[in-house]
Amino acid sequence: MIEIADGVFIRRHTELDLTLGYVVGSGDSLLVDSGMDPSLASELCSSGRGPSRIVLTHNHFDHVLATEAFLPCEVWAHEDCVVDESLLESRARYYPEPFEGTLIAPTHTFRDTVTLDVGGRRVDLHHFGPAHSSHDVIVHVPDAGVVFAGDLVEEGAPAQAGSDATPSNWRHVLDRVLELNPRIVVPGHGNPVDAAFVREMVIPAVS
C-alpha cells in the first residue's frame, strides 16, 4: 500500500498496470475496486483491516473479479452495474485459463450521488453520466482532496473506450470531476495524477 494522502492509499499492480484504492477511517475502511488478485484480501483481512465496503467503479473484469475474497462486506456500485458471466467472456480474451471463483454482484446501488460514512470520514460516490462505461462511479474523499476516477482516467497509456463507452459525454464527465477540485486523481490504471492531467486528457474513440 502506498499512502497518497492522510489515510488514503493506493495499491499498484503490475498486471494491466491496475490501481486499487483504500480509504481508512476510525475503525473502518473502504476499498475502491477489488481487482483480480485475491492476495490483497488475504493481506488486509488477516491483519484485521478488511474493508466493510467495496466500491466498484465499473464492471469490467479487471476491476471486479476478486470481490469474493473480501466477503463479508457491502459491495457498492451504480444501479446499472451488472456483474455476470459475460465478464468472463471479456476475461477469456486476455486469460485463457478458467476463472476459479464466484462472481459477486453489488449488494448496494445508487443512481446519482450517495454519501458513505467510513469510520467518521465522509466519502461521496458520484455518477456523472456515461463515459468509459454506462455506470462509471467516481469516489471522492473530500477531506483529502482525492478522487478515484476508475477508467475515466488512465496514466501511462491512452484511455480506452470499448463498445459500452460514450465518448461524446466523456469530457463532460471529466469536467464534473474537476468541479470537485481534486488535489489528486487516481486513475484505474497507472499512477496518480493532478487536475491538469485530467484537463488535458485526450478522449478516446470507440475501438
- For the chain, the domains span 2-199
> So what's the pLDDT on residue 194?
97
* Phi/psi of residue 72, nearest 5 degrees: -85, 135
> Over the stretch 111-157, which tens digit does the pLDDT of each residue have?
999 999 999 999 999 999 999 999 999 999 999 999 999 999 999 99
Which phi and psi angles does 97 have, rounded to 5°?
-70, 150
Mean pLDDT by 10 residues, the chain (207 residues): 96 94 96 92 80 97 95 97 92 91 96 97 98 97 98 94 93 98 98 97 87
Task: State CA 117 to chain mean position distance.
Answer: 18
Hunting for cell 462486506 — which residue is that? 73
- Whether 166 and 131 have beta carbons less than 8 Å apart is answered as yes
Query: Is 139 buried (19+), middle (13-18) or exposed (0-12) by CB count in 10 A?
Result: buried
Which residues, including other chains, have CB under 8 Å from residue 127's CB and lie 6 or more apart? Answer: 78, 110, 111, 112, 113, 135, 136, 137, 138
pTM: 0.95
Q: Please answer whether residues 141 and 3 qualify as being in contact, where contact means their C-beta atoms are separated by less than 8 angstroms.
A: no
CATH of 2-199, one of 1.10.10.10, 2.40.30.10, 3.40.50.880, 3.60.15.10: 3.60.15.10
Across the beta sheet with 113-118, the strand order is 113-118, 121-126, 138-141, 146-154, 184-189
Q: List 108's β-bridge partners, or say none.
A: 76
Q: What's the pLDDT score for residue 47?
A: 74
What pLDDT is recorded for position 166? Answer: 96
Residue found under cell 475502491: 32
Q: In DSSP terms, which residues pair with 25 in a beta bridge?
A: 28
